[in-house]
Amino acid sequence: MLLLVLDLIGVAVFAASGALAAVHARLDVFGVVVLAGITALGGGIVRDLLLGLTPPSSLRQWPYLIVPAVVALLVFRWHPTVARLRRAVQLADALGLALFVTTGTATALRVGAPAATAGLVGVITGVGGGVVRDVLLTEIPTVLRREIYALAAALGAAVVVTGDALGLPATPVALGAAALVATVRLLALWRHWNAPVAGPSPG
């Protein structure tokens, strides 16, 4: 139940990030709804395909369809000024990453995946929606660009896997992992933490 609620909140914030990015790219209202839906559901669909759960749960349950559509229409109607959209996309994206890494890892553990597999599936679930969103808008995905992103996802997945291995209660672990991912990601954004870039010639 907690998994479902966290997953739907993740769907909602990723839908918002997709819708905001679509408005920023000047897509029409259908494009905004479609990109919001793909961004919101993409990570979970990839997760279910990797775990052999077909058809993916998000294509079988109504809330997974209604939430992104409603969020997309709300964003389309009441989005902030275009000048502020980039920051709003980043904020929604960070929250979606946090929730999807957590629920993706937990879902994989629940169906019996070993720890390493579960962590990887969690990371892929978390970054998947944003990658698809950026690729469809012909941008290099955030996960590959300058800010700490994959690292935040990996930390969150590691916390969920470790908590499970230690037999800790799932709910506080999931909430703690999500909070950790969001905090690391947002600090990296706001403090302009960057990882090193390779120099132009060999060391």
Please give the structure tokens belonging to residue 114.
């070993």
In the chain the first and final C-alpha atoms are separated, in Å, by: 52
Binding mask 103-122 for a second copy (x = CB under 8 A): -----x----xx-xx--xx-
Cα separations in angstroms, 29 against 87, 127, 132, 195:
21, 25, 19, 37
Kindly indicate which of the ranges 72-80, 155-163, 165-173, 178-186 contains the residues binding a second copy, using the contact rule CB under 8 A. 72-80
Please tell me whether residue 192 binds a second copy under the rule CB under 8 A.
no
User: How does DSSP classify residue 57?
Assistant: G
Q: By CB under 8 A, is residue 63 in contact with a second copy?
A: no
Closest separation in Å from C-beta 61 to a second copy: 9
| Nearer to a second copy (CB atom), residue 99 or residue 133 | 133
Residues 142-181 that bind a second copy (CB under 8 A): 143-146, 148-151
* Sole window of 6-14, 44-52, 95-103, 168-176 interacting with a second copy (rule: CB under 8 A): 44-52
* Contact (Cβ atoms closer than 8 angstroms) between residue 180 and residue 156: yes
Give the contacts of 33 (CB within 8 A, at least 6 positions apart). 19, 68, 69, 72, 73, 76
Candidates 1, 167, 169, 200; binder of a second copy (CB under 8 A) is: 200
